[in-house]
Structure formats: structure tokens, C-alpha cells
Chain A
Amino acid sequence: MSNEFWAQLRGVKKRFGKTVALDGLDLQVRPGELFSVLGPNGAGKSTAVSLMLGLLRPEQGEARLFGRSPLLVEPRRQVGVMMQEVTLAPELRVLEHIALVASYYPQPLTPAATMELTNVSSLAARPFGKLSAGQKRQVQFAMAVCGRPKLLFLDEPSVGLDVRARQMMWSTLRQLVRSGTSVVLTTHYLEEAESLSNRVAVLNKGRLIASGTVNEIRALVVRKHITCSTALAMDQIAAWPDVESVTRDHQRLQISTSNSEAVVRRLLAADSNLEELEVRRAGLAEAFTELTEEAA
């Protein structure tokens, strides 16, 4: 297998006791993309990532990292990792934690450059145990990027971050992807996936139920939302064909429909004073809910 894919799962099955965690899953991470793995709790996201990192072994199928077994240290030298549930030595200072992880890589950034890149320079001398939850996440992010990895695995990276720190992390991630790094993101935070991803995979019950660009995933959900300011009565509109629901938000009506063109035409015909018309496609969050409910 060539390096066409930087990480890959092929027909992977994994069980924990009697629970099937992954049921014949195929996933590919391509060079230079930000790939989000989404799914409800227990969908198999963490298991999929653990298999790609060689932390678990598949019962069937195979996991590959840069075309090689992820159990080998060589492919992992091109990988950075940020895990969710890990407690780092509270006595070591931020700079020391970063220097330690950097020492594992052949050509790392200097700790100073890493801290500048990830905006944690001001924390350098602080013991890890004295940091806030958000600062700990920022430092773990710094540890993930310090080895100049080609592929970054980030598990819920922005949990506990304030808005500003989250925006900074996103901006760093975009810069990294622009410079050729691939990122595998698992997140509950759909806004994050929507804002950053080139490609999204939606898992449910250990299977891949959808994958594609954010737009492609959103397009899987045909429903659109129309909002407008109108004198028409809610129940009158609700009786029209193709209208799924009508709600009122202050002075504006919100109409969900699978045929927005027909409904808009009829709205304009029925109310010549209609104002503030807006049509938008379902967001990723909505698409996600619909997809995983369908699959359930």
C-alpha cells in the first residue's frame, strides 16, 4: 500500500466483550485534510482512533498508519496526539512537558517556538497541576504539535476552552492544515467540525453512515428553513403541502420544508407585504441528528 492515505482502517471489526464497537469500518485520512469523525456517544469514534494509533488491535481487517502497522514506532514519529482522558505529571512545568514530548521526535520545533505557535508562552514556568482546565487543554495541544507531525489526532480538543482560546486553537489548526498537515478531529462540538473540516465521517453503532464534505453531509438532509415576517396565520401555512412545521420566533415565522422553492413562491403570492425573507439549508448539527436517528 502506498502513502496515498496517511491513516486507514480497512474492514475493521472490534468487540469489547459482547458489545460490537466497530462493525466492518472503512476510514481513510488523506494528506493535508482536516477530517472530523462524528457520532453519538458509543458510536465507535474513540475505538476507531485507538486502532489507527495502534492502541488497540482489530479482530478483523487492518489498521495502517503511513502505510505501515501503527504498532511500529516509525510511523508514529509522524503523528501528534491529544487525548481527552489523561492526567499529566502535575509537578512538571509546561516547558518541561513540551520538551519531553519534543524529545521523542526526529525534528521537533523548539519548545519556545511550540509555545509561541500555540499561545502558551506565558505559561512556560507554571507547574502543570496549577493550570486551569482550559489551560491544560492548550498545553496538551502544544504537546501534540511540538514534534512537527504530519498527522494530528485530536480528541475533543476544545472542551473547557473559552471563546478566545478556542478561536486561537482553530486558527492554529487552519494554519497547520494549510502547511500540509492532516488532522483527525473527534468532537461533540458540531460547530467545530463545521467550521474546520474538509471532510466529515458520521459513525453510528460502529458503522460509517455517511462521509463527505460538510456541504455534502448537509445536503443529505433535504430540509430547509424559511424565516420571514408575515401577516399570514401559522396554521394556514402549516396546512400547505411540503410544510413540515411552523414556529413563531418573536415577530418572525420559521417554516421547515423539503420543498423551499414551492413554499417561497406561495408565501410571496399570498402576502405582498412579506418581509425579511431568508432561506437556509439545515446545519451540520441538524444533519447529524437526522442521520444518526435514521440509522438508530
Chain B
Amino acid sequence: MNATSFENPNALNTSGESAFPAVMPSNRLLQAYLTEARFESLRMLRVLGFSLPFLILPVALYLLFGVVLFGDAVRNDLATGKFLFIAFALFGVMGPGMFGFGATIATEREQGLLTLKRALPAPAGSYLLAKLLMTVLFAFIVMATMIPAALLLGHLPLTFTQCVSVTAISMIGSLPFCAIGLFVGTRVSGKAAVALVNLIYVPMMHISGLFYPLPKFLRTVSPVWPTYHLQQLLFAAVGAPFYGKSSMHVAVLVGVTVVLTMLSIRRLARVG
């Protein structure tokens, strides 16, 4: 036992007025939000089973299909090149939100972590906000690897503005996937959440027309998937042909995010 820490009268004095005010200065409050986000991101980056598939796989698969296997064909067909670029970027943007929110919230709820956070004076919403920022950071890293790969190896002629806008749209576009994950994560157990998220993730990736043109009967239902709408917005951002109106796609994505988030927060407040 090191006794020196007790010799400083301020170190442990909890009875004096100076230690009493429970008011949190706004800079400390902001710091609390940032600390939570920093450690959440750090922790998810350290879970290699989470970070490797979502950070390495998109760019690796893009390089495999867009450069190694079909590089020559893509060079003569810009539209296909952009299609593949957007496909693998979206693949990277979907995962962290759905799994990082869905499965981890369900598990952490079971493990008592949410209860501890509620007992501690964690600032309102810091836990969810940290996961959200983690997802946005992951989306940023995906684009930060995808764009140089596309410019240097994929020979895609993207302008600076196009690069900035696909990155921004991807980062903001990860939010509806967070909302889906959150919705699942607040309703089922940890193990069920992984299975259920997969059950949504895999079909959403394949039958929304992300990786290949769909047969006609599937094309009519693809607008039910948020991926379809984000894909159209990203096509528009890189100057590729796209369906529908941008405002409509934005409205669908915002709607999905708001409705699912509200339902989840209500559930969290009631059940914990």
C-alpha cells in the first residue's frame, strides 16, 4: 500500500465543498463523449475477427475482381469499373454498422455492461454515440483504402470532388445499417443477434443488386433494401448511371434510420 496518495489532502477529500459540485464542465462532458468513442473504436480495431473482414476484405475483393481478374475488361468499360468499386465499398460500409451495433449491443446487454453504464454517470447516449462514431470511422477507413486502390490500380478516373462525396456519403450512409443492427441488438440475445444480423445481411447484399445485375423479378423488389438506395446515391456521386431520384433515396434511408432508432431507444429505455 502506497500511503503517499493519502497525504495529499485533495486527493481523496470527498467531504469538502470543492469536491461536492456534481456539475460537469462542458469541456469535460465533451471529453467524456470523445473518450467513449475513442476506446470503442480502439477496441473494435483490436478485435481482428471484426476489423479484418470489414477493413481488409472490401479492398482485397475489389482488387481481386476489379483489377486482377477483370482488370482489362473493366478498363474498357468504365460503368462496370464504377459498379464494382461501389459494390465493394458498400459491402465494407454495411458490416460494421450491422454487426458492430447488432451483435455487440445484444452481447453487452447480456453481460451487464449496459446496466453498469446506467449506474455510472456516463453522459446520456454516449454508449450509442460511441458505437456510431466507430462505424463512421470504419466507413472512412474503407473508403480511404478503396479510393487509392481504384485510382492507382483500378484506373478509375475519379475527380477530387467525386472522391470526397463518395467518402462522405458512405460515412453518413452507414447510419441506416447501424439502425438495423441496433434494432436487432436491442431485441434478441447475443447469439441470436449474430445469426439474425447474418440473416438480414447476406440476402440484403445479394438480392439488392449490389454485386451483379439482377433478373427482372428481383429488380422490382430491390428498392425494399436500404443498400439499393445507398448504391444509387453512390452511383450518382461517381457519375455512373443510376435509377430514381436522389431525394427519394435519401428520404428512404433517413426514414429507416429514424424509425428503427426510435423503436430501439424506446425499447432500451423500457427494458435496458
Contact = CB atoms under 8 A, between A and B. Distances in A.
Interface of A: 31-32, 53-55, 66, 73-79, 81, 83, 85-89, 91-92, 96, 99-101, 103-107, 109, 113, 116-117, 119, 147-150, 153, 168, 171-172, 175-176, 179-181
Contacts of A101: 120
Contacts of B39: 89, 92, 96, 99-100
B1 A171 contact: yes
Given A83-B119, A96-B42, A172 B1 contact: yes
Interface string B1-14: 11011100001111
A91 B46 contact: yes
Contact of B32 (A53, A103, A181): A103
B214 interface: no
Nearest to B32: A103
Contacts, number: 119
Nearest to A74: B22
B116 A83 contact: yes
Contacts of A107: 19
A119 B1 CA distance: 7
Contacts of B120: 76, 81, 101, 104
B122 interface: yes
Contacts of A89: 39, 43, 113
Interface of chain A: mostly helix, strand, loop or mixed: loop
B6 A175 contact: yes
Contacts of A176: 12
Nearest to A88: B113
Interface residues of B, number: 41
Contact of B14 (A74, A99, A180): A180
B113 A87 contact: yes
A287 to B, nearest CB: 31
B31 interface: yes
A104 B42 contact: no
B121 A103 contact: no
A107 B43 CA distance: 26
A150 B21 CA distance: 11
Nearest to B104: A89
Given A103-B31, A113-B5, A53 B15 contact: no
Contacts of B24: 77, 105-106
B119 A181 contact: no
A56 to B, nearest CB: 10
A86 B122 contact: no
A153 B118 CA distance: 14
